[in-house]
Amino acid sequence: MSQTAVRVKVCGLTSVPDALAAVEAGASFIGLVFFPKSPRNVSVEQAAEIATSLPVGVAKVALLVNPTDAQLEDILAKVPVDIIQLHGSESVERVAEIKARYGLPVMKAVGVARAGDLEAIETYARVSDMILVDAKPAPDAALPGGNGHAFDWSLVAGRRWPVPWMLAGGLTPETAKRAVSVSGAHILDVSSGVESSPGRKDAGKIAALVAAVA
């Protein structure tokens, strides 16, 4: 891909073949979900198998929701994680504490539905290494992300923050190019939009999405 190509994170991988297919398609980041309510949840053992199968240079991201120290320590002791992604209601202080305690880059997910939600990005960008700008889930949603819903991408058009950011929410091979054009994102985070069923990725859809933004 060219130097101006948009990078892609494929999140919610549950098997080695799916992870390798994502890498083959050109994914730069692989996301592993540690959240029991998600259909993409993996055990520590599954995650370790997937992570150790990946080639050097692919960033392995552990997605957690309001994790305890015990949970983090169990995962990090067994899985070669490169980035911790916090996708819950973690406070600014908790994000900073996790970053300091474990010495790994931390990415904080921020849900956006309207312009007023952007203020939280400014706040978390002060303590995070990356920001994930995702569609804000409905109040009664079971999952904090991965719901296949998009937000108004023009809300983040032209925005600049002090750390890199990813765009997530409702991205598919058909919408990815427009999402980049409208939002100005340089990194996309995809999950349900490249699946054949919840938790099972479709290699053709991943390849099509990566090609669409290359």
At 137, is the pLDDT very low, low, confident or very high (cuts 50, 70, 90)?
Answer: confident
Average pLDDT, the chain: 93
pLDDT for 213 equals: 96
This prediction has a pTM of 0.92
At 142, is the pLDDT very low, low, confident or very high (cuts 50, 70, 90)?
Answer: low
At 140, is the pLDDT very low, low, confident or very high (cuts 50, 70, 90)?
Answer: low
Q: Is 123 helix (H, G, I), strand (E, B) or coil?
A: helix
Does a structural domain hold residue 118?
yes
The CATH number given to whatever domain includes residue 108 is 3.20.20.70
Segment among 1-5, 61-65, 74-78, 165-169 with least mean pLDDT: 1-5
Return the H-helix or E-strand segment holding 167.
strand 165-168
Does a structural domain hold residue 60?
yes
Does a structural domain hold residue 94?
yes
Tell whether the model's pLDDT for residue 154 goes beyond 60: yes
Does a structural domain hold residue 18?
yes
Pick from 108, 116, 157, 158: which is nearest to 134 by CA?
A: 108
Q: What is the pLDDT of residues 81-115, one digit of tens each?
A: 999 999 999 999 999 999 999 999 999 999 999 99
Q: What is the pLDDT of residues 186-197, one digit of tens each?
A: 999 999 999 999
pLDDT for 136 equals: 87
pLDDT for 112 equals: 94
Q: Report whether 145 contacts 134 (CB < 8 A).
A: yes
Return the H-helix or E-strand segment holding 148.
none
Tell whether the model's pLDDT for residue 1 goes beyond 60: no
Query: What range does the domain containing 123 cover?
Result: 7-213
Selected catalytic residue, list 134, 140, 189, 202: 134
At 40, is the pLDDT very low, low, confident or very high (cuts 50, 70, 90)?
Answer: very high
Total structural domains within the chain: 1
Tell whether the model's pLDDT for residue 2 goes beyond 60: no
> What average pLDDT does the segment 145-163 reach?
85
Does a structural domain hold residue 1?
no
Does a structural domain hold residue 193?
yes
Tell whether the model's pLDDT for residue 209 goes beyond 90: yes
Does a structural domain hold residue 120?
yes
Tell whether the model's pLDDT for residue 148 goes beyond 70: no
Question: Does 134 qualify as catalytic in the annotation?
Answer: yes
Does a structural domain hold residue 115?
yes
Neighbours of 94 (CB within 10 A): 17
Question: Does 74 qualify as catalytic in the annotation?
Answer: no
CA distance 32 to 47: 7
